[in-house]
Amino acid sequence: MQGKLRWGDFVICAVVLALAGLITLPFLFQPSDSLTCEIKQGDTVVKTIRLADGYQDTITLTAGDITNVIEVDGKSVRFASSNCPDQVCVHTGTLTRAGQMAVCLPTRVVVRLIGEDTTVDAVAR
Pick the closer one to another protein by CB: 31 or 85. Answer: 85
Binding of another protein by 103 (CB under 8 A): yes
Which of 79, 54, 49 lies closest to 67 in space, CA to CA? 79
Query: Of these, 11, 24, 55, 58, which contacts another protein (CB under 8 A)?
Result: 24
Size (the chain), residues: 125
What Cα–Cα distance (Å) separates residue 109 from each residue in 1, 25, 40, 73?
68, 34, 6, 19
Instruction: Give contact residues for another protein (rule: CB under 8 A).
Output: 2-5, 9, 12-13, 16-17, 19-20, 23-24, 40, 43, 85-88, 91-97, 100-103, 105, 108, 110, 118-125
